[in-house]
Amino acid sequence: MAGSKKNDGDDGHKSIPTSRAGRFARVARMAGGVAGGMLAEGTRQLRAGKRPSARDMLMTPANARRVADQLATMRGAAMKVGQILSMDTGEFLPRELADILARLRSDAKYMPPQQLHKTMSDAYGEDWEQLFYGFDNRPLAAASIGQVHKTVSPDGREIVLKVQYPGVATSIDSDVDNIATLLRMSGLLPSELDIKPLLDDAKLQLKDEADYHKEAEFLQAFADLLREDERFLVPEVLPELTRPTVLAMTYVSGKPIETIVEQPQAERDRVMTALVDLMFMELFELRMVQTDPNFANYQYRQSSGEIVLLDFGATRRFKAGFVNNYRKLTAAAMAGDHDKLIAAAERIGYAMGDANSEYRDLVLELFLLALEPLCEDTEYDFAHSDMAARMSQLAERVTDYRDFWQAPPTDAVYFHRKLGGMFMLATRLRARVNVHQLIQRWL
């Protein structure tokens, strides 16, 4: 029997608008609040004797909260659009907006019990509570597409149920279009930047993420790949309890991956080396990459040293052409062959600018910096690297070349999201990894 734990008074949950009209109303309310905030800030600056710019009026802390709070409440595609735009286009977006969007990775609210129970009834029938013992209304985790609840299966195993938010799957197209329109009209996105290809691909990716039977297939594929690999542990999918809106899997305990920062240097290095190695296996062997860099997707079991892999909803299949060209790009970077690197980048779909132009030199410098950990056959010390600061400085210079701006190729966006996430985790864990050696066998 499901538990009757109540969370009605907890600020952590909030009803999700499920109708198209209700979700559009959220966007309209957000737009109105931002406009009102701009007017108030402009008035304040005028009274202070300043001539306010549109950017100054727009990028106030109050407006940042308005945008992030509304997107977090809507969840689903609205929240994902923010995450996608923040993951690889930072050189094109105002830093303030990138910071707003980055908040969405951890700001999701969870469903109130009444809405949760309706979702479970739709999935399993009115007597769903008879199926599970000790179902906890409060989730272990809440994200953009769904939330995870711990319970006990009919055969007595500890399991988790990933329950999809109502209305998410049917609102993907309209959510993406509405949020993109808001960002464009508000001036938050540069008018020169064409993000339509990125958003069209985001719709397809989000529809895959909302298909829990497809995620179950990805989960099974990774379990099969890593079955004999003692470094990793993957939950077991439970097909008999999985529904289109509820993914059932065994519960695997572990601590947040960040806790290994307290472990000796050698253990931090071992864990991070395993994760980077897995990333290259995903790209070059499977051509199937779990692209969500959220640290919560990884846990650590101190007793065994195993790394627990969670959440395969953002898994993406990559075309052979992209993988082969990325292999050539990395090999060229490691060999210091700039001409071959540029040729490979253009085949992937990057706009590299004219030959011998300052813009091409700048983009080339960005590539070489992003791939810096791969280029030397030595342990790269992420804790003492200033790569992120140097990337930020280079990104500022890109703003002088607006005529060349275009959204990056979508496959590259998703892989760089993963690559950047791994390097950020390595920095957080103060790890040292010989990335050069790890990628050598794939080149």
Tell me if residue 407 falls in helix, strand or coil.
coil
Is 292 a catalytic site residue? yes
HSE-up of residue 3 (Cα within 13 Å, Cβ side): 13
Which residues, in sequence order, are CB contacts of 356 under 8 Å at separation 6+? none
Neighbours of 65 (CB within 10 A): 14
**Length of the chain, please?**
443
Give residue 219's identity as a one-letter amino acid code. L
Question: Are 246 and 212 spatial neighbours (Cβ–Cβ below 8 Å)?
Answer: yes
> Which of 88, 269, 277, 292 is an active site residue?
292
411 to each of 87, 104, 241, 255, 408, how far by Cα in Å? 13, 22, 33, 31, 9
Quote the CA–CA distance of 40 and 30 in Å, as a whole number: 15
Q: Output the six-digit token pair for 78.
A: 């609205």
CA 279 from centre of chain: 15
Residues 6+ apart with CB under 8 A from 83: 101, 104, 105, 144
Strands 158-164 and 146-152: antiparallel
Using a 10 angstrom Cβ sphere, with 0-12 exposed, 13-18 middle and 19 or more buried, the burial of residue 411 is buried
Q: Say if CB 166 and CB 17 are below 8 A apart.
A: no
Active site residues: 292
